Amino acid sequence: MSFALNLDKDLCIGCGICSESCAFGAITMSDFPEINEDSCRLCGSCVQACAAGALKINKEQPKDSAADNSKGIWVWAEVENGQLAPVSIELLGKAVELSENLAQPVEAVLIGDGVSGLADDLIAYGADCVHVVDSPLMADFIDENYTKVFERLIRQNRPAILLMGATLLGRGLSARLASVLHTGLTADCTELEIDKETKLLRQIRPAFGGNLMATIINPAHRPQMASVRPGIMRPAVKDDSRRGRVVRYDCDESMNDARVRLIETLSSEVKHSSLSNSKIIVAIGRGVKTRKCADEISAWAKSIGASVAGSRAAVEMGLVDASVQVGQTGHTVAPDLYVAIGISGQIQHTAGIVGAKKIMAINTDRQAPIFSVADYGWNISAEEALARLVDITSVKA
Ligand SMILES: Cc1cc2nc3c(=O)[nH]c(=O)nc-3n(C[C@H](O)[C@H](O)[C@H](O)COP(=O)(O)OP(=O)(O)OC[C@H]3O[C@@H](n4cnc5c(N)ncnc54)[C@H](O)[C@@H]3O)c2cc1C
């Protein structure tokens, strides 16, 4: 693949304006501009600045993208407290499914310090090959450093597809990587499939506030990158008899020169991952109205072993912490039971609970849209419902 920013030396007058206009220091001047492909972000400032019209961004796409030499469906194996993050196992499940239609190997990328032992687990979950960078230099997740290491692996191996979790860490890392690799990224996909004819990855996600589903393809650049939120895909099934290849890479100081340094990690009172693992979630909405009532609902939820979540309106009112917001711009959850109290059921909220096995809605408005997606409905106030629920559950206890 040729680089997308092209210089026409016949037109260039060597004025150097392109170099001055580049915010990324990607153009140096000798007789002609020299473009550093690693630093260039294809922002187009130089193209606009060049009065001679000597610089152009090539937007043409290769005619036969399936014939490029990229190969492999890669999954970033995110590590959480020394264990594989559940989303990595879910992505491996999807990668295995995609590989059946693409006839390409599933490969995992494992970066960290003391993580090598997880390579066998990744193979058991479906990886044919695991690329391991295990080094004290990678002990802390600093996304600039991880981007450099990851970029090097990708440039060496040229995967066709790269899947990452749309987690706190994965969101930043995937965006940085897509930028340095000059490829596209579809964030927050809800489905991924291989197009039967073109063999391209069809990246499907809600668009326009969840009112339509967009299918996005990336015919021209590699890897085809997609992120998926935790809890959406079915986890891979573990098979300890599987065998695979482990490729180890060195890591030197040049991979650890980020401008940020991790000084301390503070654990938040709210466990961010607890929502994705919860069997029962009690969600608070604007209809709960007061902090006192929200606190009482939270206390009851905890007493029955449930996690507490909320709508964006409840977050804005200070009834619940922003870290437990459910919906399009919050968590996607898949509990056995989701109890929505005082939540109207706007699409941006219900987009986050499509995986819930059962939904129970408590709302004073019979016409509230939440009742159309709920399995059980209770048309009473939050206060009254809470009193009855406390009563029922304490009698049972
Ligand atoms: C781009 C975008 C992204 C968004 N992302 C999200 C997101 O991720 N998550 C999210 O939740 N929202 C999101 N929203 C906001 C969303 O559109 C809604 O505004 C929000 O979900 C409403 O929250 P709610 O249901 O708690 O409040 P409301 O819509 O105000 O509903 C309150 C409900 O409480 C009921 N009620 C009133 N009094 C009582 C009572 N005493 N007892 C019981 N019920 C009562 C009412 O009948 C009503 O149905 C987003 C919006 C946009 C534009």
Q: Which residue has the tokens 């030197």?
A: 252
Q: Does 349 carry a binding-site annotation?
A: yes
Atom from ligand 1 closest to the CA of residue 325:
9
pLDDT in the model for residue 60: 60
Does 40 lie in the same domain as 76? no
Which ipTM value was assigned to this complex? Answer: 0.99
Taking residues 247-271, what's their average pLDDT?
80
Residue 266 in domain? no
Among 1-15, 77-91, 123-137, 138-152, the least confident range: 1-15
pLDDT in the model for residue 258: 75
Does 79 lie in the same domain as 22? no
Residue 284 in domain? yes
Say yes or no: CB of residue 327 within 6 Å of ligand 1.
yes
pLDDT in the model for residue 396: 55
Residue 138 in domain? yes
Q: Tell me the pTM.
A: 0.67
CATH number at residue 70: 3.40.50.620
Residue 261 in domain? no
Name the closest-CA residue to atom 9, ligand 1. 327
Residue 285 in domain? yes
Q: Does 345 carry a binding-site annotation?
A: yes
Say yes or no: CB of residue 346 within 6 Å of ligand 1.
yes
Residue 2, Cβ density class (10 Å: 0-12 exposed, 13-18 middle, ≥19 buried): exposed
Domain residues for the domain of 52 are: 5-57
Taking residues 236-259, what's their average pLDDT?
92
Mean residue pLDDT of the chain comes to: 91
Q: Into how many domains does the chain fold?
A: 3
Does 38 lie in the same domain as 10? yes
Taking residues 202-214, what's their average pLDDT?
82
CATH number at residue 361: 3.40.50.1220
Q: Does 342 carry a binding-site annotation?
A: yes
Query: Tens digit of pLDDT for each residue in 44-74?
Result: 899 999 999 999 987 665 544 444 689 999 9
Does 211 lie in the same domain as 132? yes
Alpha-carbon gap, residue 223 to 183, rounded angstroms: 7
Query: Tens digit of pLDDT for each residue in 317-367?
Result: 999 999 899 998 888 888 999 999 999 999 989 988 988 999 999 999 999
Q: Does 346 carry a binding-site annotation?
A: yes
Residue 297, Cβ density class (10 Å: 0-12 exposed, 13-18 middle, ≥19 buried): buried
Phi-psi category of residue 2: left, alpha or beta, with phi > 0 → left and psi -120 to 50 → alpha: beta
Residue 15 in domain? yes
pLDDT in the model for residue 374: 97
Say yes or no: CB of residue 344 within 6 Å of ligand 1.
yes
pLDDT in the model for residue 46: 94
Does 294 lie in the same domain as 154? no
- Which residues have a Cβ under 8 Å from the Cβ of 396 and sit 6 or more positions away? none
- Confidence grade of residue 122 (pLDDT, cut at 50, 70, 90): very high
Say yes or no: CB of residue 330 within 6 Å of ligand 1.
yes
Does 171 lie in the same domain as 150? yes
Taking residues 107-129, what's their average pLDDT?
98
Say yes or no: CB of residue 331 within 6 Å of ligand 1.
no
Q: Does 311 carry a binding-site annotation?
A: yes
Chosen domain end from 228, 255, 282: 255
Does 314 lie in the same domain as 196? no
CA–centroid distance, 393 to ligand 1, in Å, is: 27
Does 327 lie in the same domain as 203? no
pLDDT in the model for residue 209: 66
Residue 199 in domain? yes
CA–centroid distance, 346 to ligand 1, in Å, is: 6
Does 202 lie in the same domain as 340? no
The three-state DSSP-derived secondary structure of the chain is: CCCCEEECCCCCCCCCHHHHHCCCCCEEECCCEEECCCCCCCCCHHHHHCCCCCEEECCCCCCCHHHCCCCCEEEECCEECCEECHHHHHHHHHHHHHHHHHCCCEEEEEEECCCHHHHHHHHHCCCCEEEEEECHHHCCCCHHHHHHHHHHHHHHHCCCEEEEECCHHHHHHHHHHHHHHCCCEEEEECEEEECCCCCCEEEEEEECCCCEEEEECCCCCCCEEEEECCCCCCCCCCCCCCCCEEEECCCCHHHCCCCCCCCCCCCCCCCCCHHHHCCEEEEECHHHCCHHHHHHHHHHHHHCCCEEEECHHHHHCCCCCHHHEECCCCECCCCCEEEEECCCCCHHHHCCCCCCCEEEEECCCCCCCHHHHCCEEECCCHHHHHHHHHHHHHHHC
Chosen domain end from 41, 57, 73: 57
- Confidence grade of residue 252 (pLDDT, cut at 50, 70, 90): confident
Name the closest-CA residue to atom 36, ligand 1. 287
pLDDT in the model for residue 65: 47
Say yes or no: CB of residue 328 within 6 Å of ligand 1.
yes
Name the closest-CA residue to atom 31, ligand 1. 344
Does 295 lie in the same domain as 198? no
Residue among 195, 192, 196 nearest 205 (CA) = 192
pLDDT in the model for residue 274: 76
Chosen domain end from 21, 38, 57: 57
pLDDT in the model for residue 66: 44
CATH number at residue 49: 3.30.70.20
Does 125 lie in the same domain as 177? yes
Residue 264 in domain? no
- Which residues have a Cβ under 8 Å from the Cβ of 83 and sit 6 or more positions away? 118
Q: Does 104 carry a binding-site annotation?
A: no
Does 201 lie in the same domain as 80? yes
